Amino acid sequence: MELNICPYCGNEMQKGTLPNETHPYWLPDGKNSPPFRFVVPKAGLRLALEYSGPFGHHAKAFYCPNCEIVIATTNVSQKTSEKENTP
């Protein structure tokens, strides 16, 4: 899914990435990050990757300069479809 229009103000958003050394994820308030950076906690949501390689990972994101907000997509639907296909 491409998010070209900001859901808050209706202006055009800029496509970009959130670079990270490990697989980037979102973590809800009140949950602690794991001691190992390469582990995504159970409460965390992996962000959808635009690029993954030997020098890091880049999560797909969209930025609205008007609202100064970044929106990133997750891999939740991919994880759900993987569970459905598991015997």
Query: Tens digit of pLDDT for each residue in 1-56?
Result: 567 899 999 999 999 988 888 878 888 888 877 777 677 778 888 888 888 888 88
- Can you name the residues that pair with 70 across neighbouring β-strands? 63
Where on the phi/psi map is residue 56: left (φ > 0), alpha (ψ -120 to 50), or beta? left
Q: What are the residue ranges spanned by the domains of the chain?
A: 1-47+54-72
Q: Is the pTM of this model over 0.75?
A: no
